[in-house]
Structure formats: structure tokens, C-alpha cells
């Protein structure tokens, strides 16, 4: 029996399907090396894509789970995403329970214009704008689409002293996607969770953050 109410499906039928899905994953996944704290996050990503390869492809900074729970339980922590899809995919009631807000800047006219002027991607300029607005420090940064956004975030951490609470780095694709995540995984002082290789996507970022929200609600109940 779960103690969660806010971070569960809204109907009994929906909850039963989700719980049954998790039980099937647990039964079929086989051995893994994730801790008891990490596994709910990996399991939810497998659930989101029906892809058992995330058992193994998912990599954690050793401080990720502790940092993630702290960021959620703190209340009011912003989530900065590379694309709107992440912001739309996150459950508004779940975010509201923790006073969290989402932000993305990739479609802002000034971001588009600056990208054209400098010959960069919109994703790079969106992260630079987020930094100028003071949105990155203490934030959960979620990147599921744009490798260039993740590369820029790592640069901002190293060169500008940006200090997000954690980075969910899961851009998908064939150009620089794997490399951007390899770069993220070289950070020692900022917690991160990443998907090795080309796989990823906004759906996985949403799943990972929803897993953190669910774990945080369970911690609140205790």
C-alpha cells in the first residue's frame, strides 16, 4: 500500500494499472546494480518507454538521490527545461504540492534572434537567458531534447560558477547527444542523472522528475 496521494494516478483504475506495470517490470527486469533509492527512478523511466535497456544505461552521480529529494522537499524549487514538452508533461498538481514552477525560454523572440545573430542554437541561448535571469542556481535543470543545451549548462557550471541543485541530462539524438552526456558525467560537484549513449528524450526527464516527486511525498508522509 502506498502512502502517496498527490503523486499517484487520480483514479483507482489508473493506480492499479501503474502499480501492476511496476510489478511486471520488477519481475522481468533481471539483475541490476542500482540502490534501493535509485531503482524507483530507473523503473519509472522503463515504464515510460517499455525499454528495459534503461537498466544499465541510466547513470547516477552518487549524490543525486539525496540532492533530488532535498530540492523537492525544500519547496519552491524551480525547474528549468530545454523545451516546452517537459514543462507540459510534468503534473501541475504534483508540482503545486511542492510549490514548484517550470521555466523554458527556447521559443522567446530574443532567444531566437540571439541564436541567429551568434550562429548558435536556440537551446544554447535559452540556457544563457536562464542564467541571466538567475533561474539556474538552485534549480532542477531538465534537458531531454537538445544536446547543445546540456553542453552549455556544463560550460556555465565550469566557467560561470552556476550551481543548480541537480541536472537531469537525457537529450536524445545522433549529433552530440552521447557526447553531451559523457561531458555531464565528468562533473563531480553538481549531482546529475543521465542516460548513456543516444537514447533519451523529454519523456524520460518527466519520468525521472515524477519519480523524485513521488519519493519526496513518501518521505513527507514518514
Q: Can 32 be counted among the known catalytic residues?
A: no
Calpha distance 192→184 (Å, rounded) = 8
Active-site option among 19, 32, 47, 103: 47
Task: Please state the separation of Cα 89 from the chain's center in Å.
Answer: 11
Pinpoint the alpha helices (H) of the chain.
12-28, 39-49, 54-57, 64-74, 84-89, 92-97, 109-118, 122-132, 147-160, 177-184, 202-221
- Secondary structure of residue 169 in the 3-state scheme: strand
The single residue listed with the C-alpha cell 557526447 is: 179
- Which residues belong to the active site? 47
Amino acid at each position: 500500500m502506498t502512502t502517496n496521494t498527490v503523486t499517484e494516478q487520480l483514479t483507482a483504475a489508473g493506480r492499479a494499472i501503474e502499480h501492476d506495470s511496476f510489478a511486471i517490470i520488477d519481475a522481468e527486469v533481471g539483475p541490476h546494480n542500482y540502490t534501493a533509492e535509485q531503482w524507483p527512478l530507473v523503473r519509472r523511466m522503463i515504464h515510460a518507454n517499455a525499454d528495459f535497456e534503461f537498466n544499465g544505461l541510466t547513470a547516477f552521480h552518487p549524490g543525486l538521490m539525496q540532492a533530488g529529494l532535498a530540492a523537492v522537499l525544500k519547496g519552491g524549487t524551480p525547474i528549468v527545461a530545454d523545451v516546452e514538452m517537459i514543462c507540459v508533461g510534468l503534473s501541475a498538481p504534483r508540482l503545486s504540492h511542492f510549490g514548484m514552477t517550470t521555466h523554458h525560454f527556447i521559443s522567446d523572440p530574443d532567444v531566437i534572434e540571439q541564436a541567429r545573430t551568434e550562429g548558435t542554437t536556440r537551446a544554447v541561448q535559452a540556457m544563457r537567458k536562464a542564467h541571466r535571469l538567475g533561474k539556474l542556481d538552485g534549480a532542477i535543470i531538465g534537458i531531454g531534447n537538445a544536446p547543445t543545451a546540456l553542453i552549455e549548462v556544463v560550460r556555465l557550471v565550469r566557467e560561470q560558477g552556476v550551481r543548480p541543485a541537480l541536472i537531469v541530462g537525457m537529450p536524445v539524438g545522433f549529433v552530440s547527444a552521447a557526447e553531451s552526456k559523457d561531458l555531464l558525467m565528468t562533473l563531480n560537484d553538481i549531482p546529475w542523472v543521465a542516460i548513456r549513449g543516444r537514447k533519451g528524450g523529454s519523456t524520460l526527464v518527466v519520468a525521472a522528475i515524477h519519480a523524485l516527486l513521488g519519493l519526496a511525498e513518501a518521505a513527507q508522509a514518514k
